[in-house]
Structure formats: C-alpha cells, structure tokens
Amino acid sequence: MNTQIAKNHPSFITENKSRVVSFLVKAFLGSLLIAISAQITIPSWPVPMTLQPTALIVIGLIATPRIAVATVIAYILEGACGLPVFHAFKSGIPHLLNTTGGYIFGFIPMIYLISSLKDRSQTFLYRFGISLLGYMTLYMVGISYLSLFVGFSTAIQLGLVPFLVKTVFSISFAILSANLIQKFKTVKEVS
C-alpha cells in the first residue's frame, strides 16, 4: 500500500520524468554523433572509411548498455524514417537493405558488447580487446549480409581486408577520446 502511495507522489513522478527525458536526450545526442561521424570520410581505397565505428566505440566506452543500444536504434530509426543521417546524407529503408545495411545493423551488437564489457577493466589493452571484439562482430554481421549480394570471398575482399589496418587506428583513437571525455566528466563532477 505504501509503495503505491509513493509511486503516485508528485516528487516520484517528476523524478521519473526527469530520468526519461535524460535518457532520451542522451540517446538523441549519441545518434547525432553517429550521424555526423557518418559524413566524415577518411580517403582510402577501394572503399572509403567513415568515422562511425570510432564514434560507436567512444559511445560504448562512456555510456551504459541501455543508452548505447538506444543510441544506435535511434540512429537507424532516424535514417529509416527519411532523415539524411547515413553516409553521404542518404536515408530510407532501401538504404538499409542495400549492401551496407548489414554494417549498420551490426552497430547494435558491436556497441552492446563494448558497453557491457567496459567496466571490467580500465586498462588500454583491455579496452582495445573489447573494442576489437566489437569490431569483429560488426564485420561478421556486415560481411554476412554483403555476401548475399557479392558472394563470401568478394565480401571479405571488399568489406574486411581494406579496413584491417585502419581498425587498429580507429580503436586507439576511440579509446583515447573516451578516456579524455571521462577525465573531463570527472573533473567537472569534482568542481
């Protein structure tokens, strides 16, 4: 009976609304970061590399699993609804169903793994390992889907090989960025 009264108390309702608003704002801001990173291309051959996986690692290392996954789902839904958030300002369900759609859907398990495992250790090597595991998951989903269009061997050649060396730099940059963000948050909380 007392629990029911507490749940109907105005302070409980206000606090709950505040948490929901905070959650939605964080997910939206994360999806915005992913959308911006989709437009930043590092010239490479034969396939250009965006900064999306780097942004996903940063989000995964600083956000809770719920917020991290909600961020990616928000990003996918924004693009599916027609907002130009995908690479080269593309959008729509047809873009999700083309050859790169598997990579976009692979963002979900990638970010979930990283955000779920991040708190076990703060060392660079551990964070590198879980980020690499996240990348491997992304590549497995993306290559599996791409292989439906071009065959498995070609999918490996186009969707993995050109990115192997860049993956190491992407992970390193993301970890350093996440560490800086966390230090900034710590300093801000102390002051």
User: Which pLDDT tens digit goes with each residue over 111-158?
Assistant: 999 999 999 999 999 999 999 999 999 999 999 999 999 999 999 999
Higher per-residue pLDDT: 17 or 92:
92
d(CA 155, CA 20): 41
User: Tokens 């990173």 appear where?
Assistant: 37
pLDDT in tens, 22-47: 999 999 999 999 999 999 988 765 45
Mean pLDDT for the chain overall:
91
DSSP label of 88 = G
- What is the token pair recorded at 138? 């992304």
Residue 160 has pLDDT above 60, yes or no: yes
Q: Compute φ and ψ for 121, nearest 5 degrees.
A: -160, 150
pLDDT at 186: 78
Within a 10 A sphere around the Cβ of 13, how many other Cβ atoms? 11
Question: What is the topology classification, in CATH, of domain 2-190?
Answer: Arp2/3 complex 21 kDa subunit ARPC3 (1.10.1760)
| Helices 65-80 and 10-39, axial angle in degrees (round to 10) | 60
Contact between residue 84 and residue 90 where contact means Cβ atoms under 8 Å apart: yes
pLDDT at 3: 56
Residue 99 has pLDDT above 60, yes or no: yes
pLDDT at 79: 98
d(CA 179, CA 124): 9
Residue 108 has pLDDT above 90, yes or no: yes
pLDDT at 187: 76
CA distances to 94, 126, 184 from 30, in Å:
23, 23, 17
